[in-house]
Amino acid sequence: MSVNSTIAAGHSATLRRAALVGYLPLAIFVVLLVYLSFTAPNYFSFQSLDLILRQAIPTVVVCLGLSAVVMAGGNDVVSGGIDLSIPATAVLSAAIIADQVTNHGTPIALALAMALIAALLVGAANAVLVVRIGMTPLLATLSSSVAVVGIVKVITSSRRINVDHPAVVWLRDGSIAGVSVGVILTTLIFLIFFFAVHRTRWGMNLQAVGGSRDAAEISGIPTGRFLSQSFVVAAFAGGLASMFVLARGSGSTPGTEENLLLEMVLATFLGAAFSPRRVVTLWGAVLGAVLVTALSIGFKSIGVNVFWTGCIKGALILVVVASASLSLKASARGSAG
């Protein structure tokens, strides 16, 4: 064997290792799901699947938003694209709708319009903070998240607001041909996102910006504009998620954003393990969201203490993010040779 081919074999072994590390989170999830399917009662049933899908809805929608930001900003969690304010935006929009419909008798369509405008404003603020002022997305969106939660407290006086509007009840309980209305609408939202990102010129440019900002700039793509737009799109996803948040809770409840944030981050980056290149994709994010919900439900069904569930979720986030970093590092080393 020549020296060159030995080196090449070494590099491909490194790449293979990189691929294996990248699949680690997925493997852990599969093992957990198999374990749950043997121990949790009725875990593999239509009823169970329906439950998992319905409970995953708000997470799926905010994940779509986060995916758009990561695609435009790049996969690096710290320096790339991230938006931690999407769940808070969803809760803000939900609070606006609840307050308007229940306390002021505003027609629901108008309330929804107001909620979406508020969401877009949050997105615009994030865009200014990151693109114009140049803040790190992580810090910028963490701060805006805190600010948005503050606004929610002002609107709701930190109180729960019940909503029993027929449209919200329909979104919660309705079904068409046996499939939950929420699941159908979420599928539609996914398809629109998918089309926009993968089938339009805008989407291609967005992905190009995330792939390599320098290359995109050289080829004349206005990267700043696409980055800004990704934050607005993400906030819009948060606005859309608000309807599902509202339906699930039969009203707006302070504090809903915390759990949603954890699940969004976990699901989106777990989803990267599904893509051949270990990057965040829409498909991956959706599957990730469903898997995370399936795990949550499974753990509860076998009686795992809720604090342990939190611990396990946190540990899974660590594993997912760590293996993504290791995998990227290893493949960079492998291809650098």
Which of 55, 186, 205, 230 lies at the binding interface for another protein (CB under 8 A)? 55
Q: For another protein, which stretch binds (CB under 8 A), given 1-9, 39-47, 218-226, 270-278? A: 39-47
Identify which of residues 79 and 103 has a Cβ nearer to another protein in the complex: 103
If binding is defined by CB under 8 A, does position 5 make contact with another protein? no
Binding flag, residue 157, another protein (CB under 8 A): yes
In whole angstroms, what is the distance from residue 236 CA to residue 173 CA?
24
Which one, 64 or 163, has the nearer CB to another protein? 163
Q: Is 310 in the site for another protein (CB under 8 A)?
A: yes
Binding of residue 39 to another protein (CB under 8 A): no
With CA atoms as reference, report the closest residue to 137 among 210, 56, 194, 217: 210
Indicate the DSSP class of residue 176: E
Q: Which of 1, 8, 75, 76 is nearest to 335 (CA)?
A: 8
Instruction: Choose one: 38-46, 114-122, 205-213, 315-323; the region binding another protein (CB under 8 A).
Output: 38-46
Residues 247-306 that bind another protein (CB under 8 A): 248-251, 253-256, 258-259, 297, 300-301, 303, 305-306
Residue 68 · residue 205 · CB < 8 Å: no
Work out how close the CB of 254 gets to another protein at its nearest, in angstroms, rounded to a whole number: 7
* Residue 224 binds another protein, judged by CB under 8 A: no
Region of 134 (left: φ > 0; alpha: ψ -120 to 50; beta: rest) is left
Q: How many residues appear in the chain? A: 337
CB of 32 to another protein, least distance (A): 17
CA proximity to 296, closest of 2, 67, 43, 9: 43
Q: Which residues fall within 8 angstroms of residue 228, CB to CB, at 6 or more apart?
A: 124, 127, 128, 130, 131
Residue 173 sits in the site that holds another protein (CB under 8 A): yes
Q: Is 222 in the site for another protein (CB under 8 A)?
A: no
Q: Which is nearer to another protein, 3 or 46 (CB)?
A: 46
Q: Which is nearer to another protein, 41 or 220 (CB)?
A: 41
For another protein, which is the closer residue by CB, 22 or 257?
257
Q: Rounded distance, CA 89 to CA 34, Å?
A: 35
Return the amino acid letter for 34. V
Exposure class string for 194-203: b at 16+ Cβ within 10 A, else e = beebeeeeeb
314 binds another protein (CB under 8 A): no
Asked if 276 contacts 322 with a C-beta cutoff of 8 angstroms, the reply is no
Q: Name the residue nearer to another protein (CB basis): 14 or 186.
A: 186
Q: Could you tell me which stretch among 2-10, 79-87, 169-177, 284-292 binds another protein (CB under 8 A)?
A: 169-177
Partner residues linked to 308 by β-bridges: none
Q: Output phi, psi for 168, to 5 deg.
A: -70, -40
Residues lying near another protein in the complex (CB under 8 A) are found at 41-42, 45, 47-48, 51, 54-55, 153, 157-160, 162, 169, 172-173, 248-251, 253-256, 258-259, 297, 300-301, 303, 305-307, 309-310
